[in-house]
Amino acid sequence: MGRMIESDESPAYSHTQTAPLCLFLDVAAAGCLALAWAIGEMPGVIIAGTTGVALALIAPAFHHLKVEDRGEELAIRFGPVPLCRKTVLYADIEEVEVGRTLILDGWGIHLSIRGGWVWNIWGRDCVVVRMRRGSVLRIGTDDAENLALFLKAKINGQPSPP
């Protein structure tokens, strides 16, 4: 469950979701390296080997997804290796609702077939954030209700819910 903290400055929200996505990337990396070894001839070794090494280097970046209040903005970041991160100003958010990603949306960071961006580490629950400029951001989380309540309170200028 996400943690909401009342302080003298502003309400805060922080939630980290862990998932085995990095393990799938590790297995894929090992498979590519095994394939490179099995092929034994160029250019297959270079292609499969390079893909395996790239997957092995990227995997640690997708161990967890942290969503956190930072005063005037919401910070979203995969980790522990901080390759992928995003911030959203609360002033730019028009509407928030709890939703579900499509099976085709999958995991990671990418455009959704319904439009907008998906940031998801695991599962299908998400918070759909509609921005004032018309874009949509789907934040995958196992704490969708609390995140949506927090964001609604934040964009309406109210104290965060208990």
44-54 pLDDT tens trace: 899 999 999 99
16-26 pLDDT tens trace: 999 887 888 89
Residue 2 pLDDT grade (very low, low, confident, very high; cuts 50, 70, 90): low
Q: Is residue 133 part of a domain?
A: yes
Residue 6: Cβ within 10 Å count: 11
Same domain, 36 and 50: yes
Q: Is residue 160 part of a domain?
A: no
Same domain, 46 and 124: no
Same domain, 13 and 46: no
Same domain, 13 and 35: no
Report d(CA 20, CA 26) in Å as an integer: 10
Q: Looking at the chain, which runs of residues are DSSP E strands? A: 3-5, 12-18, 64-69, 73-79, 85-89, 93-100, 108-111, 117-120, 125-131, 136-140
Same domain, 13 and 92: yes
Same domain, 28 and 15: no
pLDDT greater than 80 at residue 123: yes
| β-strand pairing of 3-5 with 85-89 | unpaired
How many structural domains comprise the chain? 2
The predicted pLDDT at position 10 comes to 46
- Dig out the tokens for 109 from the structure: 């960071």
63-117 pLDDT tens trace: 899 999 999 999 999 988 888 899 999 999 999 999 998 888 878 888 998 989 9
CA atoms within 13 A on the CB side of 131: 16
- Domain carrying residue 119: 3-19+63-155
Same domain, 32 and 86: no
Q: Is residue 84 part of a domain?
A: yes
Residue 146 pLDDT grade (very low, low, confident, very high; cuts 50, 70, 90): very high
Q: Is residue 162 part of a domain?
A: no
Reduced to 3 states (helix: H, G, I; strand: E, B; else coil), residue 80 is coil
Report d(CA 162, CA 143) in Å as an integer: 14
